[in-house]
Structure 1
Amino acid sequence: MKEIKPFEWLIHALVIVLGLLLLNYPAFDLTFGVFNSGDGSLLWPSVLGTAFNLILFYGIAFYLIPITLKRGTGIFSIRLIVLFSFVSTVEVLIDSTFYRSSGNSIDSGIWSELVVMVLFTHVLVVIVAFAYRFSKDWFANERTKRKINEHQLRSELDVLKSQINPHFLFNALNNLYSMSLQAGDEKTAEGISVLSEMMRYVFDKTGEDKVALQEEVQYISDYIYLQQLRFNKQVKVQFDHPETVSSFYIAPMLLIPFVENAFKYGVSNHAKTTIDIRIAFEEGHFVFEVKNQKAERTETIPSSGVGLSNVKKRLNLIYNDKHSLSVNESDDLFRVRLVILNSL
């Protein structure tokens, strides 16, 4: 019974009490087998009958099924039949006692009606017990799977972070930055400074559940800046985004793989290409779109290592049914549209 939380106990109790009140409300004048709520004869049979139903329900859901799952199905059927027969027999005998206490005699027809009433009720209880137990286990397994997936994704990000010693990296970047300034190469110095900030963001923020949208936008802007330094005028990038959105937070490093993918497949060695990136809020929903022309390349563009399949897993874990992701591809165009519902 430790599997039932206090809130669940409260729900169970409310359902039982409400059911008994409705069943015995005189104005409804309900007839259940040989008993009637209008004359009050249904009260005690329903109360004790509920007690037997609970013994059957909890006995199956929290004793027979768990034991069967642990030890095998060997004698499950025998145990179920014994429990069902015992509870049903005792309840029939008690109901017959209540019926006689009102001055009634019992013939074969009354016995049949009592037995049918009890068996019908208990069969329903057995069905409900199985449905409750297996649905409870299914939801528990889903929660466990989700936690395992979340742990796996966090471990993957931690591995990416641990591949480089952050202190060594930042010291090296600072030295390169100082050397570039001394040599008068301000463009290289600026690139090193931007890269340093990007790496600091990766090490500092990937362990957090959510970050401000402005921080993620800045990271994307820095990434675009470095890529444009590399490709010069070979690629044109249009990045549209809100200037300030203080109330919206997003999972870190969630958007950058889509941008990396656009540069990976949308930059040509021979022709100028265009990449369009848009962040907006439409009717309270967060919208992120990336559109790039498809191009052939002979060299590989390094990425963060967080691929699109990993992003899809994170989206399903973090936003579940509160997001939609569409990927459309034609002969010369690749487009991604991510919508996070009810963002504002």
Structure 2
Amino acid sequence: MPDARRSFREFAGMLAGWLVLVYSSNLMTVLRFNDQTIRLVHINSAALGLVNFLFFYCCYRWIAIPVLEKRRPLLAGLLVPVLPAFTLLKYGFIHLFFAQDILYRGHQIINGQKVELYTSLGNYFVNGLWSNLVIVVAAFSFCLFRLWLQEEKKRVLLQQQQLQAESGFLKMQLNSHFLINSLNSIYSLALMGSPEVVKANKTLAHLLAYMVDQPSDIAYRAPIREEISYLQDFVTLQRLRTGFNEGIIFHTPDVLPEKNIAPLLLVPFVENAFKHGVSNRPEKAVTITLACNEQQLLFSVHNYVSGQQRDKTGGIGLDNVRKRLQLLYPGRHQLDIRDTGAEYFSNLVINW
């Protein structure tokens, strides 16, 4: 039953499109509108248009689709008997109902009598054969176009799935990188016997909950205020680890637009600054600045480079961010990273 309804909807849609097309083309050829020309338009568009459509649909459904889609080329041989048979059938239909309108060619005086002249079967057969061949070509062309649309849809779907998998893989790498560094920070607090280790664990639990809650859909965007809250929790965790609040400066706007952003996109810049920055000297603080309006987001991170590298787990964070930006904001972002040896600058602009 669902297949029958689908076939009927396809048939009705194609018929409606066909009638609109033939009516439009026939009306464009009318130079003067009167009762006779309007009648001819209706005959050629509605009556003969329906007959031609049935021939088109039969060729499309039972010849073109099996030949092109199901790879059964021998069925194309059906056109040899079908094409002339339909030409004869259409001539009989016209001769029976519309001979005066379609076949009449004037009159001639023979032996003093007025004799009406009509297009002969032979003449109509030759001309009709070519016009019906055009209908066959249209049926095969429509089938090819439909197959191209299906292949294009499959290609786009496959590309989306590939991008989805690649984005998910990149985000997984970033998450694992973040988790290792966060656990290292809490481990450092535990070694020092800091009472802040409990608060750090709670903050980490909030961070992990936010990370887990993000859908894997590449098209998903989180509210910008949620992403800022996540960054603030991340900064809090780092302040607990260092015990030096003045070493981190985080500027955010008081009023935020109702905009969304790809989740977990900004934190690698902050993580990189904490990893390679100083953050325990107020004159060399890590500075994070986020500003956004209805047109774009501006995010910058600046840190002074520490003389020691704190761990060996890095190397993939910012490279993955570049790849994710290409996937998520192609042509709509600018990323500028500068390393002077003593200072490190990361500046990101995203156009919504």
Give the TM-score of the pair, scaled to structure 1.
0.64
After TM superposition, give the deviation of residue 54 of structure 1 in Å.
Answer: 1.7
What residue number does 2:17 align with?
15
Alpha-carbon distance in 2 for matches of 1:264, 1:2? 60
What residue number does 1:51 align with?
54
What residue number does 2:106 align with?
none
Select which of 137, 143, 152 maps to 1:129: 143
Is 1:336 the equivalent of 2:348? yes
Q: 1:305 to 1:214 in 2, by over 3 A?
A: farther
What residue number does 1:324 align with?
332
What residue number does 2:299 align with?
289
Select which of 71, 89, 105 maps to 1:94: 89
Is 1:199 the equivalent of 2:208? yes
Q: 1:60 to 1:105 in 2, by over 3 A?
A: closer
Alpha-carbon distance in 2 for matches of 1:2, 1:149? 33
SS for the counterpart of 2:251 is strand
Q: Which runs of 5+ in 2 are unaligned?
A: 32-36, 104-117
Q: 1:281 to 1:219 in 2, by over 3 A?
A: same
Could you report, residue by residue, the CA deviation over 1:22-68 in whole angstroms, capped at 9, with x for unpaired residues? 4566x9649xxxxx864354243321111111222334664333323
What residue number does 1:33 align with?
none
Structure 1 contact 280–287 (Cα < 8 Å) conserved: yes
Structure 1 contact 267–296 (Cα < 8 Å) conserved: yes
Q: Within 5 A, what are the aligned runs for 1:99-118?
A: 99-101=94-96, 102=99, 104-106=118-120, 110-118=124-132
What residue number does 1:308 align with?
321
Could you report, residue by residue, the CA deviation over 1:243-301 in whole angstroms, capped at 9, with x for unpaired residues? 555x545443243234435556777999947544324123xx45243354695875247
SS for the counterpart of 1:18 is helix
Structure 2 contact 286–304 (Cα < 8 Å) conserved: no
Structure 1 contact 266–274 (Cα < 8 Å) conserved: yes
SS for the counterpart of 1:335 is strand
Equivalent position amino acid for 1:326 in 2: Q
After TM superposition, give the deviation of residue 334 of structure 1 in Å.
Answer: 3.9
Count of residue correspondences: 307
Alpha-carbon distance in 2 for matches of 1:268, 1:60? 74
Alpha-carbon distance in 2 for matches of 1:262, 1:150? 28
Could you report, residue by residue, the CA deviation over 1:163-207 in whole angstroms, capped at 9, with x for unpaired residues? 9x9xxx9xxx8xx89x99xx7x45555444433322232234457
Structure 2 contact 298–350 (Cα < 8 Å) conserved: yes
Alpha-carbon distance in 2 for matches of 1:274, 1:7? 66
Alpha-carbon distance in 1 for matches of 2:4, 2:233? 50
Structure 2 contact 223–261 (Cα < 8 Å) conserved: yes
Q: Within 5 A, what are the aligned runs for 1:1-344?
A: 9=10, 11-22=13-24, 29=30, 38-39=39-40, 41-42=43-44, 43-59=46-62, 62-68=65-71, 76=73, 78-79=74-75, 81-101=76-96, 102=99, 104-106=118-120, 110-147=124-161, 149-150=163-164, 153=167, 185=194, 188-205=197-214, 211-228=222-239, 229-230=241-242, 237-243=249-255, 247-261=258-272, 263=274, 272=284, 275-282=287-294, 285=295, 287-292=297-302, 295=305, 298-299=308-309, 300=311, 307-308=320-321, 311-312=324-325, 315=328, 324-329=332-337, 332=340, 333-340=345-352
Give the TM-score of the pair, scaled to structure 2.
0.63
Percentage of matched positions with identical amino acids: 15
Q: 1:89 to 1:7 in 2, by over 3 A?
A: closer
